[in-house]
Chains A and B, each alone.
Chain A
Amino acid sequence: MGLASFSDGYSGFSAAVSTVALALAALLLITITVLRASRSWHAARLARHEATWREALLRAMEMPDTDLPPIPRSLLPAFASYWNRIRASLKGPAAENLGAPLRRGGLEPRVLAMLGSGSLRLRLIAATTLGYLRARSAWEPLARMARLPSPELSSTAAQALLRIDADAALDLLAAELVDRDDWSLARLGSLFKELGPDAITPGLARIIASRPPRGAHRIVRLARFGQRKSMGLAVREWLRTSGDAQVLESALDYVEDTHDLAQVRGAARHGDWRVRIAAARALGRIGSRPELAVLLELLSDPQWWVRYHAAQAVTALHGLDPGEVQALQRLATDPFAAQMLAQALADRTPAA
């Protein structure tokens, strides 16, 4: 019994693992202490520099010939990141003026060099800065980066290219914009909104005209940021010719007049319920009394959302007053339709 019952291996193993664990824990604690000290030193240094940068950049917004203080190599990423934040919050001449001191101070080639770094963080910062600077010199490296498999790098590079020359970038990236599901539509949409309809309409129209075989619904959704008239004409053509439910669903959002009524009525009987919803919404926008029959049919649709949008459309139909909708509700033999109409009528008198 006693000590002799357990091999020394047990004690040795316990002692060895405990020693290693405690030593590692001590090492980690030292690392944390060093990290904290270094972080606080950097934060103080950065705060001092940011105060100078802020002053210079605020002046540069009004006077583009303002010179920047020298930016040490070690602070270039922090400066570029700071500049990106200010630049992203500006519009108009102040935004344009903000780039001048960087170009004059020779920072563009330095940021371009940062684009080739091995660090994801530095590459993302650099691509964003070069995009805001509209740096033509970065076109080729950014074009290569936009074709990388990494969604972060490729989509950030694509956004930079679009900022440098939207029209050329839309031609260059047409295939990726359509195919790459990992490029967020919401982020592209925000950028397209920032660039404005004049900058993106010709390029988007060319992509739509090329009739991409797949992923067309992405372009149709992005087309809303182009000039409504030109985009509408191009997209509505697809209502007649596309069999893709997602394309039809998005294209129906562009229907604004009665020219497409026949297509919309057809879409109201489509097998995909999302297309039927889009058709109901389109009928609510452009329809009048003759469309009531189609909408009443949709009020009995097996899909709740189709019934919901059909009821909303009924209350919005031109030439139909609330009294008539109430009468329809009272006379409805389908309880679902009656409930939906009651809800839609309540929605017409918004609470807040």
Chain B
Amino acid sequence: MKAAVEWIGWFFLGYLVLLNGGYIALNLLAIPTLRRRLAREPLATLPTAYCGLEPPVSLLVPAYNEERTIASSVRSLLQLDYPEFEIVVVNDGSKDGTLAALSAAFDLEPYPEAYWRRLEAKPVRAIYRSRTAAGLRVVDKENGGKADALNVGINASRHPYFCAIDADSILERDSLRRVMEPFVDDPSTVVSGGTVRIANGCTVSGGHLERVALPRNPLALFQIVEYLRAFLFGRLGWTTLNAVLIISGAFGVFRKDVIVAAGGYRADTIGEDMELVVRLHRVLRERREPYAIHFVPDPVCWTEAPEDLAILKGQRIRWQRGLAESLHKNIELLRYGGGGPAGLLAYPFFLVFECYGPLLEVAGYVCTVALWALGYISLTQMLLFMLLAFSLGFLLSVSALLLEEMSYHLYPRGSQFAALVLVAIAENLGYRQLVTWWRLVGLSRWLRGAQSTWGTMTRKGSWQK
């Protein structure tokens, strides 16, 4: 019994060290890519005239019940600095006045488009074009979910690249130029994803970000450090190995012929953005086609983070289900011998630490407390376990703050830095554990096979002018 209990103790201790060590290793892996990118910054900021050889892009904006924000979102997209792009808004059978809002704002008229159904999707009711905004079309279709709406957008798009954008994303004017750079520089690029940062606390005007600041809401503050730690520098680490498994659905550019050949977005999954990227790794590796999936670390896309526990809980449950679905629907990437870094490193890492990690983390905490309650370990040993969890989590967050400082330095004021350090401490005292619990709930719902739907997220938008 003693040996078994001790083995359990060591198992959870080892898991904790591996989990945080893995993330710290990813942060270290991010450094060469970040340095290379920053070395090029003096050239990237030089004014350059467009020459007409830049690849044209179709911006796909799936919209469901977005009547309050859709017109301003499209207006901000129309102002993007890029030589050739079109905007295709896909109204996914909204129950509110999304279509009417678009029609009023952009003077829509019916357009007799020879719609090409390359990807299977719900029927299209009508296609409109704007009389006032060149290059804007609106596709009105039956409700089928975000993935289905994106497939319709791909079918209706005219350019060889498409950019999937959430209707509520806030983009910098040069966002599209920056996220298209990998396609311009590396012909093997099939996907390029932009970094999504948290807009709470920032000042947004006319759909564009004007001033970066920290929010006052503690939940939003926690998420800022969490985004830096897990979503920014973690993904950048995987980029170094060409093993990025997630490109955010909020802002990512894809080479259309590759996506169509892979079958487009899967409408039966909740995490359609991740599922597509994992599938691309699998399909392209199987076909032995050279490819690159890039992640652009520049802060190019901003989104509102939940400031309310219930909404945050719903979001994290949905994300976890999407993650589990995406990984298990492409399990062949793990089995397939030629999976490369994506199959041999990233996939197992995501499966063990991201997908089933919450199960092990929660079990670790529960077992440790139970062992102490049953007298198998002393109070000191239990507290040492908790201290270990805290110190590794804190180290990870601080290493992300260092990378932020070395690179984008978005929060220059001393008070902002102090706030972020306090958050890096405080998030380990309840927030991370709470998120882990929600992720476990998400995992269990995926196991029970709950239906996937459009994610609902109530936006406050109080920072928008």
A84 touches B112 (CB 8 A): no
Q: Which one of A5, A32, A39, A346 contacts B111 once the chains associate, using CB atoms below 8 Å?
A: A346
Give every chain A residue within 8 A of B112 (Cβ-Cβ). 339, 342-343, 345-346
Binds B, one of A139-147, A179-187, A238-246: A179-187
The segment out of A116-124, A261-269, A278-286 that lies at the interface is A116-124
Q: For the complex, is A21 an interface residue (Cβ under 8 Å from B)?
A: yes
Within 8 A of B (CB), among A15-43: 15, 17-19, 21-22, 24-25, 28-29, 31-32, 35-36, 39-40
CA distance A171 to B111 in the complex (A): 51
Q: Is A74 in contact with chain B by the CB < 8 A criterion?
A: no
Query: Measured between C-beta atoms, what is the minimum distance from A264 to chain B in Å?
Result: 22
- CB of A25 within 8 A of CB of B13, answer no
Specify which chain A residues have a CB less than 8 angstroms from the CB of B335 in the assembled complex.
none
A29 near B113 with CB under 8 A, answer: no
Using A2-B375, A5-B377 as known contacts, say yes or no to A25 and B384 having CB atoms under 8 A apart: no
Question: A88 at the A/B interface (Cβ < 8 Å)?
Answer: yes
Could you give, for residues 21-62 of chain B, a 1 whenever the CB lies within 8 Å of some chain A CB and a 0 otherwise?
000000000000001101111110111111111110000000
The chain A residue sitting closest to B414, CB to CB, is: A36
Q: State in angstroms the CA–CA spacing of A84 and B45 once bound together.
A: 10
Query: Is B36 in contact with A120, judged by CB distance below 8 angstroms?
Result: yes
From B40, B47, B385, B401, contact of A124 by CB (8 A):
B40
A85 with B405: CB separation less than 8 A: no
Closest to B397 in A: A25
Complex Cα distance, B402 from A3, in Å, reads: 39
B410 at the interface (CB under 8 A from A): no
Q: Is the CB of A3 within 8 A of B47?
A: no
Q: Smallest CB-CB separation from A15: which chain B residue?
A: B384
Binds B, one of A6-14, A45-53, A228-236: A6-14
B49-A190 in contact (CB<8A): yes
- B402 and A31: CB pair below 8 A? yes
Query: What CA separation (Å) do A21 and B388 show in the bound complex?
Result: 8
Interface string of B106-143 (1 = CB under 8 A from A): 00010111101010000000000111111000000000
B398 within 8 A of A: yes
Q: Is A350 an interface position by the 8 A CB rule?
A: yes
Task: State whether B109 touches A351 (Cβ < 8 A).
Answer: yes
How many Å lie between the Cα of A148 and that of B211 in the bound state?
41
A142-191 with Cβ < 8 A to chain B:
151-152, 156, 181-182, 184-187, 189-190
Contact between B114 and A85, CB atoms less than 8 A apart:
no
Residues of chain A within 8 A (CB-CB) of B384 are 11, 14-15, 18
Max chain A Cβ within 10 angstroms of own Cβ: one of B17, B405, B412: B405
Contact status B129-A351, CB under 8 Å: yes
Chain A residues contacting B111 (CB-CB under 8 Å) are 343, 346, 351
A65 CB to closest chain B CB, in angstroms? 27
Residue B217, interface by CB 8 Å: no
Pair A21/B395 contact, Cβ less than 8 Å: yes
Contact A187 B184 (CB under 8 A): yes
Contact B398 A124 (CB under 8 A): no
Contact partner, A28, options B114, B398, B412, Cβ 8 Å: B398
Alpha-carbon distance between A81 and B46 when the two chains are bound, in angstroms: 9
Interface string of B391-419 (1 = CB under 8 A from A): 11011001101100110010010100100
Q: Which of B43, B158, B381 is the one whose CB lies under 8 Å from A10? A: B381
Can you name the residue of chain B whose Cβ is closest to the Cβ of A308? B114
Tell me, in angstroms, the Cα distance from A6 to B51 when the chains sit together: 70
Q: Does A276 have its Cβ within 8 Å of any Cβ on chain B?
A: no
Q: Contact: A192 with B51, CB < 8 Å?
A: yes
Query: Does B6 interact with chain A (Cβ within 8 Å)?
Result: yes
Contact A88 B48 (CB under 8 A): yes
Chain A 174-213, CB within 8 Å of chain B: the 1/0 string? 0000000110111101101110000000000000000000
Please measure, in the bound complex, the distance between the C-alpha atom of A331 and the C-alpha atom of B70, giving whole angstroms.
41
Tell whether, in the assembled complex, residue A336 and residue B131 are in contact, meaning their CB atoms are under 8 Å apart.
Answer: no
| Complexed CA–CA distance, A7 and B378 (Å) | 11
Q: Which residues of B have CB within 8 Å of A125? A: 42-43
Shortest CB-to-CB span from B11 to chain A, Å, is 11
What's the least CB distance linking A26 to chain B, in Å? 9
List residues of B (178-196) whose CB comes within 8 Å of A's CBs.
184-187
* In the assembled complex, B9 has its CB within 8 A of some CB on chain A: yes
For B42, the chain A residues whose CB sits under 8 A away are 81, 84, 121, 124-125, 128
Nearest-Cβ distance from residue A214 to partner chain B, whole angstroms: 14
Q: Which residues of B contact A10 (CB under 8 A)?
A: 6, 9-10, 13, 377, 381
Separation of A193 and B50 alpha carbons in the complex (Å): 9
Beyond A11-B380, A11-B381, A351-B134, whether A186 also contacts B53 by CB under 8 A is: yes
Q: Does B376 contact A (CB under 8 A)?
A: yes
Q: 1/0 per residue B159-191: CB within 8 Å of A?
A: 000000000000000000000000011110000
Is residue B5 contacting chain A, with contact meaning CB distance below 8 A? yes
Q: In the complex, A225→B53 CA distance in Å?
A: 11
Please pick, from B53, B113, B385, B405, the residue contacting A14 in the complex, using a CB distance under 8 A. B385
Residue A134 is within 8 A (CB to CB) of chain B in the complex? no
Q: Is the C-beta of B387 less than 8 angstroms from some C-beta in chain A?
A: yes
Q: Are A22 and B40 in contact (CB under 8 A)?
A: no
Min Cβ gap A274→B in Å is 11
When A1-B375, A15-B384, A119-B39 are in contact, do A85 and B53 touch as well, CB less than 8 Å?
no
Would you give the 0/1 interface string for B351-393, flagging 1 where the beta carbon is closer than 8 Å to chain A?
0000000000000000000000001111011001101101110
Offer 27 A-B interface pairs, CB within 8 angstroms, sorted by A: A1-B376, A2-B375, A3-B381, A6-B376, A7-B6, A10-B381, A11-B381, A21-B395, A24-B395, A25-B394, A28-B395, A29-B421, A31-B402, A85-B45, A89-B47, A128-B46, A151-B185, A186-B54, A187-B184, A190-B48, A193-B49, A194-B49, A304-B114, A342-B112, A343-B113, A343-B114, A352-B134
Given contacts A6-B6, A311-B114, 19 further A-B contacts (CB under 8 A): A2-B378, A5-B376, A6-B377, A15-B384, A17-B17, A17-B392, A28-B399, A35-B405, A85-B47, A121-B42, A152-B36, A156-B43, A182-B187, A186-B51, A186-B54, A343-B111, A351-B109, A351-B130, A352-B131
Q: Which residues of B contact A (CB under 8 A)?
A: 2, 5-6, 9-10, 13, 17, 35-36, 38-43, 45-55, 109, 111-114, 116, 118, 129-134, 158, 184-187, 375-378, 380-381, 384-385, 387-388, 390-392, 394-395, 398-399, 401-402, 405-406, 409, 412, 414, 417, 421
